[in-house]
Structure 1
Amino acid sequence: MNETRPHDTPTGLAEAAEMALRVRAHYEQLEQRLLGRTWTLPELAVGFTNDAAYVGRLVLAAERTWDIDGDVDAELRHKLAECLWWAFVLADKLGVDLPEAYEATMDRIDTGLRKTLRGTHGDGQ
């Protein structure tokens, strides 16, 4: 499922975060017009958990244990992307540098797993 990407597609987390916040700014303008305010942090968190829960249903649909209308693969791609968007939005609202946090977390987990695997196999790899 490797597709070629247009040159303007963000490839790094920092660029993806910038794009996510631009989209969020548009939603905030719409919310201001329709609601007279923007969503609160708890409302944003509920939006994220709602989409994340739907990813679970889409995984079941992909495994053919849950029926949905429409293209499961397209919906799964869409909802996974939205969940990533929500993570960037929530991180921004909470003052978390998500690209930095992701890199630090993955480095820490990778180091720990490598150490565990070396101890499990006893072969130094």
Structure 2
Amino acid sequence: MHELSIATDLINTALETAKQNNAREVISITVEIGELALINPEQLQFMYQVLTEENLLKGSELIIINVPAVAECQCGYKGPVPDKTTCACPNCGLTMRAVEGRDICLKTMEIEV
């Protein structure tokens, strides 16, 4: 369950950012999660709620935006990844390289100062 460590990292980053901006309250944080990051959004939401009960993020909303996987192949194909287990190119069968949808990124925070 790496959602716990992901939630912890997101919360620590959000708390540090809130502190740097003299926030009195955090309304929401928006996170982009790539399809290939293999994160369960429901588990992440649960961990976020539990871990923010005793800090400045209490009551804030965690907004999750799913980023679809996009890969490219040496044959010229660039697009969705039909088989996430092998990343095989639908045109030629070679293994593609993921170019989008792998990352987890804290995109925005809505705060009150």
Larger strand share, 1 or 2: 2
TM-score (normalizing by structure 1) = 0.29
Q: Tell which structure's C-alpha radius of gyration is larger.
A: 1
Larger helix share, 1 or 2: 1
TM-score (normalizing by structure 2) = 0.31
